[in-house]
């Protein structure tokens, strides 16, 4: 990149029900972030919202968020997708040289105000999938899980182990909406099937949550904080929304996006150079699919990796925060992964802290079965 960009600060919160409004949540997050950094709205050059009109229940919904975010009569824009895509957009604006800072605001209130699954059905193929009513986010995830297990000969026990580890990690994290202390594979197996082999605890919880993040150029970041976290590389890729054109046991778009991010960051061997990963795995089977696509493990190596290699104290921790199985505020989940990575790199993750965390990879997704993927590499 022709300019160095850092994350100067962030705010985040999540719960099953925050008992709030979109406007109030936006105000609390941005006001808290400004107070943390000792700034006001005049220090913000541009603002990017990550929200969804369908979920907000009104078109151009960001127009109602400008005042509580402090950006009325100022430059702002919006992406109707995951917040990590908003980060890429904001970085482009700073790289243009026209802005020194960019505010990101993302939230989802699918724990209390709207179904988290309904909007996904409108991203399905309108001719062959949407009208039949057989496919939805959960049934598609069940197909993906079965495809992955069959491809590599794994049993459902692998999904139980993955979910249990994530929920144990989430129980240690105050920024998660759901966690189960001392969760075991048996606890997961005791939960109900949704679409076989997918069980209730293999999937994300309905969540209220949001976050605000301030990006800054190198000069401005050093003025705002003594603990900047640098964006070393980023990449995006998208594949067909028609599931029949994709092998669901793999993620080609994640592989392509991570390749671009690693090239920008100068990383040749991610399995050796990356210290941890925060991955937007909305379902248990997606974690090994995505980590393999990120180049952290080889195809078919998931069983070996999940024997303990990727726990908080392992050689390559994956989702030490608990990941989206602990909280999935739609539109904000990728930025939650980003903020959890920032906590790791700053040494602020508490009981979830990874030792010697210096390089982290962050992943965000959109669409059914991770159709579109964004990858960001962070460092200190």
Q: Residues of 115-140 as b/e, b for ≥16 C-beta within 10 angstroms?
A: ebeebbbebbbeeebeeeeebbbbeb
Could you tell me the two tokens for 165? 């580890």
Residue among 163, 191, 173 nearest 306 (CA): 163
Could you tell me the two tokens for 163? 């979910």
Hunting for tokens 């941005």 — which residue is that? 30
Tell me what pLDDT residue 5 has. 98
> What separation, in Å, do the N-terminal and C-terminal C-alpha atoms of the chain show?
16
According to DSSP, the β-strands at 372-379 and 359-366 are antiparallel
Gyration radius of the chain over CA positions: 19
- Within a 10 A sphere around the Cβ of 380, how many other Cβ atoms? 17
Low-confidence ranges of the chain (pLDDT < 70): 304-305, 307-308
In angstroms, the Cα distances linking 234 to 84, 88, 248, 362 are 10, 7, 24, 9
According to DSSP, the β-strands at 76-79 and 46-50 are parallel
Q: Give the global pTM.
A: 0.96
Tell me what pLDDT residue 306 has. 72
Tell me what pLDDT residue 307 has. 65
Phi, psi of 354 (to 5 degrees): -90, 135
d(CA 364, CA 278): 9
Tell me what pLDDT residue 308 has. 67
Domains located in the chain, CATH noted? 5-115+206-224 (3.40.47.10)
Tell me what pLDDT residue 117 has. 87
Tell me what pLDDT residue 26 has. 97
Tell me what pLDDT residue 302 has. 75
């Amino acid at each position: 990149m022709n300019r160095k960009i850092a994350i100067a600060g962030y705010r985040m919160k999540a719960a099953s029900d925050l008992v709030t409004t979109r406007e109030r949540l936006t105000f609390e997050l941005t006001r808290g972030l400004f107070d943390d950094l000792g700034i006001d709205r005049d220090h913000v050059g541009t603002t990017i919202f990550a929200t969804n009109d369908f979920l907000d229940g009104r078109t151009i919904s960001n127009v109602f968020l400008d005042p509580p975010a402090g950006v009325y009569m100022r430059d702002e824009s919006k992406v109707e997708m995951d917040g990590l895509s908003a980060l890429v957009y904001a970085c482009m604006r700073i790289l243009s040289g026209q802005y020194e800072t960019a505010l990101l605001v993302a939230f989802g209130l699918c724990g209390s105000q709207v179904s988290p699954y309904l909007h996904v059905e409108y991203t399905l193929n309108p001719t062959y999938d949407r009208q039949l009513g057989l496919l939805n986010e959960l049934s598609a995830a069940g197909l993906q899980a079965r495809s992955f297990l069959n491809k590599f000969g794994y049993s459902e026990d692998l999904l139980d182990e993955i979910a249990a580890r994530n929920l144990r990690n989430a129980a240690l994290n105050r920024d998660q909406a759901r966690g189960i202390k001392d969760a075991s594979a048996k606890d997961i197996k005791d939960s109900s099937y949704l679409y076989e082999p997918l069980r209730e605890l293999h999937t994300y919880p309905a969540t209220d949550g949001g976050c605000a993040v301030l990006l800054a150029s190198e000069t401005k970041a050093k003025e705002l904080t003594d603990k900047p976290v640098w964006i070393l590389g980023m990449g995006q890729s998208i594949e067909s929304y028609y599931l029949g054109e994709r092998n669901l046991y793999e993620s080609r778009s994640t592989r392509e996006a991570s390749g671009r991010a690693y090239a920008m960051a100068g990383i040749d061997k991610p399995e050796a150079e990356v210290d941890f990963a925060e991955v937007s795995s909305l379902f248990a089977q997606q974690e090994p699919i995505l980590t393999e696509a990120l180049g952290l493990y080889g195809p078919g190596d998931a069983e070996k990796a999940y024997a303990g290699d990727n726990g908080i104290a392992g050689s390559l921790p994956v989702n030490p925060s608990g990941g989206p199985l602990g909280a999935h505020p739609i539109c904000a989940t990728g930025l939650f992964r980003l903020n959890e990575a920032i906590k790791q790199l700053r040494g602020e993750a508490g009981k979830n802290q990874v030792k010697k965390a210096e390089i982290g990879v962050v992943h965000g997704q959109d669409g059914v079965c991770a159709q579109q993927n964004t990858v960001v590499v962070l460092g200190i």
